[in-house]
Structure 1
Amino acid sequence: MQTRKILMGLAVALSLSCAQVSAVTPKGAKKAARQVTFKVRIENISSPEGQAASDGTRWPFALSPGLYVVNEKGAVLFREGHRAGAGLEAQAEDGNAEALAKSFESMNREAGQHGIFNMPAGAGAPGPIGPGAAYEFTLSAAPKMKLTLVTMFGQSNDYFYATEKPVELFDAAGEPLSGDITARFALYDAGTEVNQEPGVGTDQAPRQKAPNTGAAEGGVVHRAKADAFYSKTGQLFRVTVTPVN
């Protein structure tokens, strides 16, 4: 029951800014000779019993709505060793994918196909995904196109998961990618908010009083290697890409 209450609270906290947004393809984009439709599935495979906190309590691991981008160049949503932009800060601290999407669009005249995933499979409203839940969406891509994706580590101050580098959706022979790409993801710290222990911090959803709450860190984006969760990615969620035509 406690886990359900936490997930409901997290859903409210992370849904304040995740109105349904469809994929965007830039006007005037050239139509590729060969388009393949891919299904992307992001599944929370963490234990339904939750994660253990240092105080003996347990809390459910969750992922927030996020942003995906497909283009030939490979999208740059952040740079390690540099300060996070306002869009990434909103994504990493509050799961606000809409802010990141707008920031990306404003800085990229040729943004490529991109969109927000925020509707858990089988759900009636946008929100985060807890243990056993998943996001599913489709995208279209042509050979040489790459996928970039980012989502928030739900009960953290400013952690996020992202593709370490854009994922090639086709091999050198032009064959579409199919399979598990979880190993292409890493856990990052946006460096924007002082970290508290995941799952129990008072400045983390659903415990924080309001979005963008917490002491500023003034750091830079870096891999969260110091956190025990850095090496647990494959135990917490799974991302698969499957061509469907």
Structure 2
Amino acid sequence: MQSQNLNWGIAAAGRVTQDFVTALGTIPNSRHAVLAVADVEGPRAQEFAQRNQIPRHYDGFEALSLDKEVDVVYVGTLNPFHYAVVRLMLIRGKHVLCETPLCLGLEQAQELYKLAEQRGVFLMEGMWSRCFPSYERLRELLLGDAIGEVKLVKLQHGFRLANEERVASRALGGSITLDIGIYALQLGQFVFGSAPVKIIPSGTQLNAERVDVQTEFILDYGDNRRLIALITGLETLENDAIIVGTKGEIKVRLPHKQL
């Protein structure tokens, strides 16, 4: 029996959603099909559909949520609108892959995961680094006790992003922590397998809108296990992490942002 295509809907016609649609098209023998795109500006959705040969385009997200042939929706709106759009899609029974960050607050994220469970649909934050082959290799090394018990993760992650509107603007949910700092947080969870028991901020630099453009923090995982991070939008750094264990260490390259 031949399996059917998984029909995707795209929420927002922007650069990040263009990257996602392009990436789907590179999967060999893919049964992923982009069926529809929606945007708050109808002409943008129409142009996006024409450029990518997508059969349907909608003026607004409500119409996309009502398309019965769409199985899963990729949400690539601006940060402040993730919660509302994801919630709408979940209520309508759509599976959802949402661009990072999933939400701007913990309570919103908890509500969405609870809603997905109630509706019996899939919800995932698009943490792309977790899908890198290097992370699969890292998992093998850690499970194989290649460096012993991990005690420390040190990382530096930075690009000249402080003047980018998505980072600098409070109205757009701007924050260097939400933009690239999340990769530090997820690496700590990946390596230590749990949430930190304590967060120790050691310095944050704000812009005129009081949005963080540089921050340093320590995540304490208990039992003398820590992650120490420098995250900045002011300079381009080496963008790597050193995972230190009792028998050795592993160096990991961190994701590079494409402007």
Q: TM-score range by the shorter chain?
A: under 0.3
TM-score, scaled relative to structure 1: 0.23
Larger radius of gyration: 2
Counting helix residues as a fraction of each chain, which structure ranks higher?
2
